[in-house]
Amino acid sequence: MRQDDQWKSASTAGDCTGRDVHVWKMSLLKTDAGFSCDSLSADEMKRAERFRFDSDRNKFVRTRTTLRGLLSRYTGVAAKELTFSYNEYGKPYLRTPGKNKALFFNVSHSRDIALFAFSRNCELGIDIEYMRDDVQCLKLGQRFFAEQEYQALAKLSGNALIRGFYRCWTRKEAFVKAVGAGLSFPLDSFAVTFEEDDRPQLIWTDKARFRGTCTLFPVLHDEKYLAALACLGDPAQVDFYHCS
């Protein structure tokens, strides 16, 4: 499993080249209102203003500002100058890729952690979830998961049921985000493995919706969070870094 001692210092990160994928982790515990938001667009500031609570607003600002900083690092374009476009389901893309190289990216955050994923080679999706112990695992699994996933989940109980549910959920969400089809891609139209191992698999999909290749990776594994990465291709290497 991906443990904290396998996350490298930001100072060791090079460019994301070839078939490599870079994943960055950032703590959102420091959400002081003084965090600079100079690089954000007017649209992003309007989105920030919609949050009811200051803590949520500050987490959004910190996540978006860090995303722009990382994108600037990979593209050579100033963070403030980066512009985005979105597909019909809301998945973001860079209008200003820089360095004449494609750059795919995805972001997820939950409670006090944000994750960022980058690739030059393939579409990707990442998802992190804070594991609540009051979640109705079987009810949600029956509603949203493929039948074989639900049947496997129903054999679990206690903490194993909660962790199994979130392993399945994060892998499915990461895959849907990588495809970029949003709610038009039902979670029960494909199935993933959710055993506690380092080699999760996409078992099957509705071929009318997806015919490509997807490689799944566990990203974060601790007592409170689970996360997964989905790449629509076969990365040569996935590197993990701490945001300073």
Summarised one tens digit per residue, pLDDT across range 74-95 is 999 999 999 998 898 889 999 8
Q: What confidence score (pLDDT) does residue 223 get?
A: 86
Residue 125 has pLDDT above 90, yes or no: yes
Mean pLDDT of 121-143: 96
CA distance 59 to 35: 10
What percent of the chain shows pLDDT beyond 90? 68
Cβ–Cβ under 8 Å, residues 241 and 7 = yes
> Cα 149 to the chain's mean position, in Å?
21
Please calculate the CA angle 150-151-153 and round it to the nearest 5 degrees.
Answer: 60
Least confident among 17-31, 90-104, 169-183: 90-104
Q: In CATH terms, is domain 4-242 a member of 3.90.470.20? A: yes
The residue type found at 4 is D
CA distance 96 to 184: 28
Q: What confidence score (pLDDT) does residue 1 get?
A: 40
Dihedral over Cα of 26, 31, 34, 37: its sign = positive
Instruction: Report the chain's mean pLDDT, rounded to a whole number.
Output: 90
CA distance 101 to 196: 36
Cβ–Cβ under 8 Å, residues 191 and 148 = yes
Residue 202 has pLDDT above 50, yes or no: yes
Residue 99 has pLDDT above 70, yes or no: no
CA distance 34 to 103: 30
CB pairs under 8 A, 24+ apart, for 37-46?
37/61, 37/64, 37/65, 38/80, 39/65, 39/68, 39/69, 39/78, 39/79, 39/80, 40/64, 40/65, 40/68, 41/83
Summarised one tens digit per residue, pLDDT across range 214-236 is 999 999 878 899 999 999 999 99
Residue 34 has pLDDT above 80, yes or no: no
Domains of the chain, residue spans = 4-242
Mean pLDDT of 54-80: 91
Least confident among 148-157, 186-195, 218-227, 232-241: 218-227
Q: What confidence score (pLDDT) does residue 197 get?
A: 83
